[in-house]
């Protein structure tokens, strides 16, 4: 992977002026061989498996970031879905595992550990039903632990019972944490990828190897600046410019990721191409769309603009990288993108338009604030709609939604830091209860039969 001097200069400018960074390096770890009938030995095995490499992760990321002058914002770890390891354990034993993972994160300065979750697209086992209460404890009581539930897949269809369980979990966590903050650490998925480096839905899938180093790049500010500096031209010219820009971002991300993996002595996994905005001015996916010519995000033309952006991002990244995976879309985490928040305030962006955008491969409904008194069935219906988009398009979609206790539509919630702030969105007052409470599994579409 050879770089020209011009590419190096351009990448330095991207970092210095336009917020380009490596959003996360995430080490995936297989914990299946850590199981033991004695919970103390089980915990000891987990620490022995993770800790030496967690220390290397921080050291290697710091060294490579300093070498290239590109910030690496987060160091994270993803584990084997924990519900696969807790079958037969008591809740007390399961909480010992949570405590061990939390202590590992604290002692090695790991930002988050992901994988406290369930693969439940075709139904939940007795053990997984019990695990829901362990997941609740993780979200409410442990700062560094993130969770997921996969409730649908292209091959299996949509499991409404798992969706209802997820909605009830979200409501419980919302009530037990300030402003529902615990819900920011939970993603409900359709077609969850096994190698996603981004929290909160990251986990090390059962099909993965022993260890893997996955990289999530971020560069909406770079693309926004490029489009703003060249306002003219046809849309195909715009797409070509985005492709070339993302090509450079991806090459940089994969180069750094491979060097970190080599220093750690583990396999390099994938580069995730998802554009991840921040609360900084000039680092916004909404800003990209408005630089294309939209007066405000959410107006007619927004869905087409998102399609243009995501398509160009994927084409540029695939040409640049040898191993692309994860989510690889365009994140629209509403509270974390200042432009999206402003569009909600102006009245041009609503929940229904956000759902429409996910059909053209923005990753899902992300960091959505809704009234605290939202009906559980309405919450479940929102998740069901989003999973339907995922399986009908054979793509990953996710829902990270926060019912904010005591808040009504139009009121404001401030989380601070990377989580940002947002206005509480309006949700339909009409009921989906009779449909959602039918339960069962919506069968997959005929296109899922590909054998």
pLDDT of residue 49: 95
In this structure, what CATH number is given to the domain that contains residue 182? 3.20.70.20
> What would the pLDDT profile of 36-50 be if each residue is shown by its tens digit?
999 999 999 999 999
Q: Is residue 332 part of a domain?
A: no
Spatial contact of 1 and 33, defined as CB atoms under 8 Å apart: no
| DSSP codes joined into one string, 258-272 | HHHHHHHTS-EEEEE
Percent of the chain with pLDDT over 90: 61
Q: Is residue 374 part of a domain?
A: no
Q: Is residue 74 part of a domain?
A: yes
Q: Is residue 161 part of a domain?
A: yes
Average pLDDT over residues 65-88: 90
Query: Which residues does residue 401 pair with via DSSP β-bridges, in sequence order?
Result: 368
Angle between helices 235-264 and 39-68 (to 10 degrees): 120
Residue corresponding to tokens 């339960």: 439
pLDDT of residue 266: 95
> What would the pLDDT profile of 108-159 be if each residue is shown by its tens digit?
999 999 999 999 998 888 999 999 999 999 999 999 999 999 999 999 999 9
| DSSP codes joined into one string, 52-101 | HHHHHHHHHHHHHHHHHT--EEEEEEEES-GGGT-TT--HHHHHHHHHHH
User: What is the tally of structural domains in the chain?
Assistant: 1
pLDDT of residue 217: 84
Handedness of CA 292, 297, 299, 303 (dihedral sign): positive
Q: What is the mean pLDDT of the chain?
A: 89
Give dist(CA 134, CA 136) in Å, integer: 5
Give dist(CA 21, CA 19) in Å, integer: 6
Q: CB within 8 A of 338, min separation 6: which ones?
A: 279, 280, 281, 284, 286, 420
> What would the pLDDT profile of 404-443 be if each residue is shown by its tens digit?
999 999 898 888 777 888 889 999 999 999 999 998 999 9
Q: What element of type H or E holds 213?
A: strand 211-218
240's tokens:
């070509």
pLDDT at residue 17 above 50?
Answer: no
Query: Which residues does residue 212 pair with via DSSP β-bridges, in sequence order?
Result: 28
Give dist(CA 191, CA 82) in Å, integer: 18
Average pLDDT over residues 322-348: 86
pLDDT of residue 82: 95
Is 51 strand, coil or helix? helix
pTM above 0.75? yes
For 183, the domain range is 26-190
> What would the pLDDT profile of 152-196 be if each residue is shown by its tens digit?
999 999 999 999 999 999 999 999 999 999 999 999 999 999 999
- In the structure, what pLDDT confidence band is assigned to residue 233 with cuts at 50, 70 and 90? confident
> In 3D, which of 213, 253, 202, 195 has the Cα closest to residue 53?
213
């Amino acid at each position: 992977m050879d770089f020209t001097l011009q590419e190096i200069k351009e990448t330095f400018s991207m970092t210095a002026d336009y917020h380009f960074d490596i959003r996360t390096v995430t080490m995936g770890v297989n914990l299946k061989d850590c199981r033991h009938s004695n919970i103390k030995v089980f915990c000891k095995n987990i620490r022995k498996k993770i800790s030496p490499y967690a220390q290397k992760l921080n050291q290697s990321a710091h060294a490579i970031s300093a070498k290239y002058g590109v910030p690496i914002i987060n160091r994270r770890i993803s584990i084997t879905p924990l519900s696969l390891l807790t079958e037969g354990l008591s809740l007390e034993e399961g909480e010992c595992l949570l405590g061990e993972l939390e202590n590992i994160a604290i002692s090695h300065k790991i930002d988050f550990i992901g994988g406290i979750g369930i693969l439940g697209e075709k139904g939940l086992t007795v053990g997984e039903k019990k695990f829901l209460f362990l997941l609740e404890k993780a979200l409410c009581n442990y700062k560094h632990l993130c969770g997921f539930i996969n409730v649908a897949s292209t091959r299996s269809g949509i499991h409404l019972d798992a969706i209802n369980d997820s909605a009830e979990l979200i409501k419980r966590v919302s009530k037990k944490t300030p402003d529902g903050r615990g819900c920011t650490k939970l993603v409900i998925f359709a077609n969850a990828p096994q190698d996603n480096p981004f929290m909160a839905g990251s986990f090390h899938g059962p099909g993965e190897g022993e260890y893997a180093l996955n990289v999530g790049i971020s560069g909406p500010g770079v693309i926004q600046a490029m489009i703003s500096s060249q306002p003219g031209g046809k849309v195909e010219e715009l797409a070509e410019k985005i492709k070339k820009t993302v090509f450079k971002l991806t090459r940089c991300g994969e180069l750094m990721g491979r060097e970190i993996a080599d220093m750690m002595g583990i396999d390099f996994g994938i580069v995730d191409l998802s554009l991840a905005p921040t609360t900084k001015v000039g680092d916004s996916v909404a800003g990209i769309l408005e630089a294309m010519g939209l007066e405000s995000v959410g107006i007619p033309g927004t869905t087409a603009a998102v399609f243009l952006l995501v398509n160009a991002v994927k084409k540029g990244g695939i040409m640049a990288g040898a191993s692309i995976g994860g989510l690889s879309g365009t994140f629209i985490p509403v509270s974390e993108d200042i432009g999206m928040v402003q569009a909600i305030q102006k009245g041009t962006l609503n929940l229904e338009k956000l759902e429409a955008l996910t059909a053209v491969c923005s990753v899902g409904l992300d960091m959505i604030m809704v009234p605290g008194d939202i009906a559980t069935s309405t919450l479940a219906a929102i998740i069901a709609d989003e999973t339907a988009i995922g399986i009908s398009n054979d793509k990953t979609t996710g829902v990270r939604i926060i019912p904010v206790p005591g808040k009504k539509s139009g009121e404001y919630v401030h989380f601070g830091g990377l989580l940002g702030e947002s206005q509480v969105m309006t949700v339909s007052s009409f009921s989906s209860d009779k449909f959602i409470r039918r339960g069962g599994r919506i069968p997959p579409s005929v296109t899922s039969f590909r054998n």
